[in-house]
Structure 1
Amino acid sequence: MTKPERDAGNPLAGLKEAERASGKKGMPPVHLWNPPFCGDIDMRIAQDGLWYYLNSPIGRKPLMKLFASVLRHDEDGKYYLVTPVEKCGIRVDDAPFVAIRMSVEGKGRDQSITFETNTDDIVTIDATHPMRVAVEAGTEGLKPYVLVRGRLEALVSRALFYDLVALGTVEGDWFGVWSAGRFWPMQRAAEIGAVA
Structure 2
Amino acid sequence: MPYDAPDLAKLNLSEIAALAAARKLPPIENWDPTHIGESEMRIAADGKWYHQGDEIRRPAMIRAFSSLLQCDADGQHWLVTPQQKLSIDVEDAPFIAVEMQSEGEFESRCLAFRLNTDDLVVAGPGSELAFRNDLPCLHVRKGLWAKIARSAYYELAEIALAECPKEPKIWSKGVVFPIGTSQ
- Taking structure 1 as the reference length, the TM-score comes to 0.75
Please tell me the root mean square deviation across aligned C-alpha atoms, in Å: 2.1
Q: How many residues align?
A: 160
- Gap runs ≥5 in structure 1: 1-23, 137-142, 189-196
Question: In the TM superposition, what are the counterparts of 1:99-114 in structure 2 within 5 Å?
Answer: 99-114=97-112
Amino acid aligned to 1:156: I
Distance 1:128 1:72 in 2: 16
Q: Deviations over 1:96-131 (max 9, x none)?
A: 000011101112221111101011211111012111
1:130 paired residue among 96, 104, 128: 128
- After superposition, the Cα gap between the structure-2 partners of 1:135 and 1:150, relative to the gap in structure 1 and judged at 3 Å, is closer
- Gap runs ≥5 in structure 2: 1-21
| Alignment pair present for 1:30 and 2:22 | no
Q: Deviations over 1:49-74 (max 9, x none)?
A: 11011111110000001110111101
What is aligned with 2:168? 175
- After superposition, the Cα gap between the structure-2 partners of 1:102 and 1:89, relative to the gap in structure 1 and judged at 3 Å, is same
Distance 2:80 2:132 in 1: 28
8 A Cα contact 1:108 1:178, kept in partner = yes
8 A Cα contact 1:121 1:148, kept in partner = no
What is aligned with 1:149? 141
Bigger RCO of structures 1 and 2 (CA < 8 A, at least 6 apart): 2
Distance 1:37 1:89 in 2: 11
- After superposition, the Cα gap between the structure-2 partners of 1:25 and 1:122, relative to the gap in structure 1 and judged at 3 Å, is closer
| Alignment pair present for 1:165 and 2:157 | yes
What is aligned with 1:72? 70
Identity %: 34
Distance 2:151 2:104 in 1: 21
What is aligned with 1:21? none
Moved over 4 A (4+): 170-173
8 A Cα contact 2:34 2:84, kept in partner = yes
Q: Which moved more, 1:87-96 or 1:71-80?
A: 71-80
Distance 2:92 2:35 in 1: 23
- After superposition, the Cα gap between the structure-2 partners of 1:46 and 1:158, relative to the gap in structure 1 and judged at 3 Å, is same
8 A Cα contact 1:129 1:147, kept in partner = yes
Measured after TM superposition, the shift of residue 172 of structure 1 is 9.6
Distance 2:99 2:164 in 1: 26
